[in-house]
Amino acid sequence: MVYWLAIHIPSSVTYSSLVLPDSAQRTARVYFSHLPAVLLSIAALCIAFALAGPRTGDATTKVKREGIALIMAMDRSGSMDARDFVEGDYSVSRLEALKNVFREFVLGEQTGNGRPNDLVGIVSFGTYADGICPLTLDHNNLVAIMDDIKVATQQTEAATAVGEGLALSVERLLQHESKSKVIVLLTDGVNNAGVIQPLHAADLAAANDIKVYTIAAGITGLAPMPVTMQDGSVSL
């Protein structure tokens, strides 16, 4: 498997709203508005394929595999509330899009290829990193805990401490004896908080034979952000 750390993967996709009159001309932006969500899903599938350790063999061969220990390091900084993903006819936040990828990656509800034999845990990070769920095989409870993760709304908690999130993930994995250990980093931006730099945390992971994969969310440039109006309604 390939060790890879990418703190920010730029995209050339531009967001556009699907809330348009039926008579309006459909532009290329409308046609491609679903592309970020598709690319996000493809990234998750590629990681799942790499973790599966594909091999050739005849139809009668059975291979007994030991599950891996996997920490999902999830960004909950303020920018994760940007609405540059489209699912169905609605725009969703970056955090909600990553949650949907997380759910399918772990449970495999649509593909049937979840991670039933793997210990999976969650670390979240904004300005600070927190251990949300320890490594567990109870994936339904894990996903329920993940659903409760919210975007940081307090300014003091809304920065992006990628290095802190990675370092805490490494610490959690070092407490277990699994032969194969992996961190999946789900983030939308560049480290701008904390005392630990992402590359230093990545070096610590590599020194302990922990592989790091990144799923990046978001587009390049400005993205729609929800704003609460005086009457309590939310506008982009």
**Residue 136, domain CATH:** 3.40.50.410
58 falls within a domain: no
In angstroms, how far is the first alpha carbon of the chain from the final one? 41
Residue 28 reports pLDDT greater than 90: no
> Position of tokens 């994936």?
139
10 falls within a domain: no
169 falls within a domain: yes
165 falls within a domain: yes
Percent of the chain with pLDDT over 70: 64
Contact 164, 194 (CB under 8 A): yes
Alpha-carbon distance of 67 to 77, in angstroms, equals 31
Tens of pLDDT, residue by residue over 33-64, are: 444 554 455 555 555 545 544 544 454 444 44
90: pLDDT confidence band, cut at 50, 70 and 90? confident
At residue 165, the pLDDT reads: 98
At residue 112, the pLDDT reads: 75
Residue 78 backbone dihedrals phi, psi, to 5 degrees: -55, -35
Amino acid letter at 128? Y
143 falls within a domain: yes
At residue 43, the pLDDT reads: 54
9 falls within a domain: no
DSSP 155: G
Helices (H), 70-197: 94-107, 139-147, 162-174
Does the pTM exceed 0.85?
A: no
43 or 203: whose pLDDT is higher?
203
At residue 86, the pLDDT reads: 78
Q: Which of 18-32, 89-103, 148-162, 217-231 has the lowest mean pLDDT?
A: 18-32
At residue 50, the pLDDT reads: 53
At residue 10, the pLDDT reads: 40
Alpha-carbon distance of 204 to 62, in angstroms, equals 35
At residue 224, the pLDDT reads: 61
- Say how many domains are in the chain: 1
87 falls within a domain: yes
155 falls within a domain: yes
pLDDT average, residue stretch 172-194 = 94
Domain range for 211: 34-51+66-220
pLDDT average, residue stretch 175-200 = 94
At residue 14, the pLDDT reads: 38
Q: Which of 70-79, 193-202, 209-218 has the lowest mean pLDDT?
A: 209-218
